[in-house]
């Protein structure tokens, strides 16, 4: 069961990283002055080209055949989108209201990056003590030797 939860968390982290990259590309196109629909399509094309691994998350994110507003509604209702569903709902509402999407996409990207950073910090805080002890035993002594050995050899060469 723990292994299954771990694979789910890894998949969520991978999807969040992909979504953050997508938002970065989207923000770039929006800042260049492109319309949101065109920017969405171009950002998705670039990310699909750069990303070797195909996933259900990516395929859902990039199917915009029925217009961007309808696509954002579909994404906000898709169970596979998990924690991203509220973000898509906000994007849809602001897009339909004609809000400045550059700031919205930038804020969303920053929020997701902060969430990723917090997730990483909590994961690192939960490292088992045994692993930390092993790191100390096998990393610290060679590091100390690499730092002190040249100093000792230079002291021995002084007449």
Cα 61 from chain centroid? Answer: 15
Query: Which has the closest alpha carbon to 23: 61, 78, 79, 67?
Result: 61
- C-alpha to C-alpha distances, 109 to 26, 27, 101, 131, 153, nearest whole angstrom: 10, 9, 12, 33, 51
pLDDT at 70: 84
Rg of the chain taking only CA atoms, in angstroms: 23
Express each pLDDT in 24-51 by its tens digit: 999 999 999 998 888 888 888 888 887 7
The reported pLDDT for the residue numbered 1 is: 46
Q: Where are the domains of the chain?
A: 2-126, 128-159
Q: How far apart are CA 42 and CA 68, in angstroms?
A: 13
> In the prediction, which pLDDT does 56 show?
66
- Segments of the chain with pLDDT less than 70: 1-6, 52-57, 63-65, 130, 159
What pLDDT score does 11 carry? Answer: 79
Q: What is the pLDDT of residue 80?
A: 73
- pTM (two decimals): 0.71
């Amino acid at each position: 069961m723990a292994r299954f939860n771990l694979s789910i968390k890894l998949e969520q982290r991978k999807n969040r990283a992909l979504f953050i990259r997508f938002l970065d590309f989207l923000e770039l196109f929006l800042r260049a002055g492109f319309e949101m629909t065109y920017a969405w399509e171009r950002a998705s094309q670039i990310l699909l080209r750069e990303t070797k691994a195909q996933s259900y998350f990516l395929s859902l994110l990039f199917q915009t055949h029925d217009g961007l507003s309808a696509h954002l509604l579909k994404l906000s209702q898709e169970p596979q989108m998990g924690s991203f569903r509220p973000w898509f709902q906000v994007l849809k509402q602001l897009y339909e209201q004609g809000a400045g999407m550059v700031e919205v996409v930038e804020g969303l990207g920053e929020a997701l990056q902060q969430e990723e950073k917090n997730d990483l910090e909590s994961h690192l805080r939960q490292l088992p003590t045994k692993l930390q002890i092993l790191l100390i035993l096998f990393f610290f002594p060679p590091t100390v030797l690499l730092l002190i050995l040249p100093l000792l050899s230079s002291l021995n060469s002084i007449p």
